Amino acid sequence: MVAFGKKLRESQIKEWQGCYINYKLMKKKVNRYTQQIEVGTQNGDNVLMDFSRLLDCEIERIVLFLLEQQGQLATRLSDLREQQHALLQQPGGSRISELQEAYRAVGCDLLRLLSFVEINAIGLRKILKKFDKRFGYKFTNYYVKTRANHPYSQLRQVFKHVGFGAVVGAISRNLADLQDLQHHQGNYISIYDHPALSHLDPVIDSIRSAVEKLSNSTNYLHFLGRHAFIMEDDLPTPSQDDTADQRYHFMSLLLNLVNTFLYMVNTYIIVPTADSYSLSLGAAATVCGVVIGSMAVAQVFSSVYFSAWSNRSYFRPLVFSSVVLLVGNTLYALAYDLNSISVLLIGRLFCGLGSARAVNRRYISDCVPLKLRMQASAGFVSASALGMACGPALSCLLQTNFKISKLTFNEDTLPGWLMSLAWLVYLLWLWISFREPSLETKEAAVPQEANAGTVSSGLGPLVNIAVEKSFTQPLLVKSEAKQQDEGEDQGCDDIEEDSGEFQKPVTSIVMAYRLLTPSVKVQLFVYFMLKYAMEILLAESSVITGYYFIWTSSSVAIFLACLGLTVLPVNIIVGNYIGNMFEERQLLLASEIMVCFGILLSFQVFIPYSVPQYVGSALITFVSAEVLEGVNLSLLSRVMSSRLSRGTYNGGLLSTEAGTLARVIADGTITLSGYLGESRLLNITLAPALLICISSIIATCFTYNSLY
């Protein structure tokens, strides 16, 4: 364990050593304030005033240095612009290349400056948190609110990277002009007329990624993309991004998203009719919990082997998934004519064994270029949401009853037959159109990454950035995730000294668990809670509405479809508006409280149990859980170790397993509670959901300050 102050000193760029935040001085000040207050020589108001003045001076020093460095970059860009004007009079291929390298060098220096800003921002957050913890005073809220909203705010310069956009724009435009001069013999193509040209150069993409990482603002696309929980490295090397470009194939990505959509349809298409199907086979209606949950039971195991399989191939796991799902749905449909509840459950188990969501996530992470990865991640979430809504909606349309030979086609069996046909068509499409990324390209990415500091790829100074990141990355990635902040010398980061060891993926579930900090464990528990609450709501909806309101399968299907359709609008509102008004940790706690409120409203206290009470409480619970899921996974992607962004035992697998276990336990609870009678089912299943929700709120409160 290495103290933050020591690691800060080790991470400093040598020529800028006197310009970083003086974390050591401020930590000593906090300790001195504590002693003075204990002996009565200082009062709280004077401490707050003195510490505010100290922070203002530190931030002003950082900002003035930023302005000085930006001025130097502007001067260099101005000189390069004059050279570029001279070049237009006497074009020359070698001189164009030299100017391009010079612009890229400015871009790399801007990357170093962004790294400087982020290190100082982390230092500010840590010292503010330490002050709050030591004195039990919400000084952070006061300081940020008063400084960030002031018209002369210097704090905004640190957290909102003011002025960097002009430098990025100049580099981007002039690189595009030089490229046009080199390849189009002077035919001018403006980046303003063709925005796609703005990010052709890898250094521009790297700067854009660094700026986005530093920014605290959000939007719908990024919020929805992080909802997919596809973890990434901070800034990929040019060789890594080139590898992703070579492996990218649009039709393969589309097939990957279709697999996601069909699997979610397959999961929820049986929910409205699972109870009636169980009754027709001689079982209790509440056995629907086992019927629905058996798919999740199998998914606990399938997620692991599909994640491991995706290390070697993407095509074969998707083919296997389609075949297994085809068999599973066929068995599900045949169970009616065979009059066997066992065949029904085996069919659903097969469906769970075909869950390729680990492959879907991994394909986006490995084979989609960085510039398209956020859109692909948002597509993954959208496909899942649409599948969740379409499943019950399709079930509503399958209200018929006829026989062909000895096979029965009714509202219970048609979901199985329809999904069997869908997976057969998908399998043929997959076989014809999917392009397996070459194994050679995949394996080549590792040595290229390892040699990033020594091999020239035509980018000159970009190579040095890869070397410098080996020093700064552990601090930037893990300072928030690993800090325990348990005293003067205990506020530290669990950082591997060997940068090569830091980059290695974990090789076992035990090792992955050891990398989880208390805050990450709490976030996974929150994810478990929301999935448990949602599964209780959805899985028992047909039984509850049938018992209290005598709803038909069609009514249940319409109700569930309407719930599913709220996913994307809610995420648009949170991503575009609410996410920019509040911190994510504030949204996390607020949405947990709303889930708890929705569960409380769902209890049957008054008789008769009314439709408005049920529908209103279900809507509050479901929508709040959807908001909570997006915010929770967004925070997890920031505080989880970057070593869990790759390999078999990655962060996506851990979150999938947590959510799947929640669904298994929830479905088991429904079935076991059914033995006490349908009249008691609602309150008995809601009681553990409420208890888990309250526990997650308490745990979140304890780790609130450690969240990003």
Q: What is the pLDDT of residues 344-357, one digit of tens each?
A: 999 999 999 999 98
Instruction: Give the Cα separation of 3 and 10 in Å (integer).
Output: 11
Is 478 part of any domain? no
Q: How confident is the model at residue 190 (pLDDT cuts 50, 70, 90)?
A: low
Beta-carbon-side half-sphere exposure of residue 612 (alpha carbons within 13 Å)? 1
Predicted pLDDT at 525: 94
- Position with higher pLDDT, 57 vs 230: 57
Task: For residues 252 and 226, state if they share a domain.
Answer: no
CATH code for the domain in which residue 540 is found: 1.20.1250.20
Predicted pLDDT at 678: 87
Is 502 part of any domain? no
Please say which residue of 205, 231, 257 terminates a domain: 231
By C-alpha distance, which of 436, 239, 415 is closest to 334? 415
Please say which residue of 206, 231, 256 terminates a domain: 231
By C-alpha distance, which of 666, 374, 697, 689 is closest to 526? 697
pLDDT tens across 141-189, in order?
677 767 766 667 677 666 555 567 777 777 877 777 777 666 655 554 5
Task: For residues 146 and 175, state if they share a domain.
Answer: yes
Predicted pLDDT at 378: 78
Q: In total, how many domains does the chain have?
A: 2
Task: For residues 56 and 27, state if they share a domain.
Answer: yes
Is 498 part of any domain? no
Task: For residues 216 and 360, state if they share a domain.
Answer: no
Average pLDDT rounded to a whole number, residues 520-547: 93
Query: Residue 212 is part of which domain span?
Result: 3-231
Is 449 part of any domain? no
Residues 6+ apart with CB under 8 A from 138: 132
Predicted pLDDT at 671: 92
- Arithmetic mean of pLDDT over the chain: 79
pTM of the model: 0.67
Predicted pLDDT at 10: 59
Q: What is the largest CA-CA distance in the chain?
A: 94
Task: For residues 264 and 180, state if they share a domain.
Answer: no
Residue 478 in this model has a pLDDT that exceeds 70: no
**Range picked from 225-239, 314-328, 505-519 for highest mean pLDDT:** 314-328
Lowest model confidence (mean pLDDT) among 309-323, 468-482, 693-707? 468-482
By C-alpha distance, which of 438, 506, 495, 435 is closest to 471? 495
Is 708 part of any domain? no
Residue 668 in this model has a pLDDT that exceeds 90: yes
Beta-carbon-side half-sphere exposure of residue 646 (alpha carbons within 13 Å)? 15
Task: For residues 216 and 270, state if they share a domain.
Answer: no
Residues 6+ apart with CB under 8 A from 169: none
Is 607 part of any domain? yes
Task: For residues 395 and 285, state if they share a domain.
Answer: yes
Instruction: Give the Cα separation of 32 and 26 in Å (integer).
Output: 10
Is 567 part of any domain? yes
Predicted pLDDT at 439: 63
Task: For residues 334 and 194, state if they share a domain.
Answer: no
Please say which residue of 190, 206, 231 terminates a domain: 231
Instruction: Give the Cα separation of 255 and 426 in Å (integer).
Output: 8
Q: How confident is the model at residue 5 (pLDDT cuts 50, 70, 90)?
A: low
- Position with higher pLDDT, 88 vs 491: 88
Predicted pLDDT at 11: 59
Predicted pLDDT at 451: 38
- pLDDT over 90 percentage in the chain: 34
Lowest model confidence (mean pLDDT) among 70-84, 173-187, 327-341? 173-187
Predicted pLDDT at 222: 64
Residue 302 in this model has a pLDDT that exceeds 60: yes
Is 503 part of any domain? no
Average pLDDT rounded to a whole number, residues 233-250: 59
Task: For residues 315 and 289, state if they share a domain.
Answer: yes
- pLDDT over 70 percentage in the chain: 75
Q: How confident is the model at residue 263 (pLDDT cuts 50, 70, 90)?
A: very high
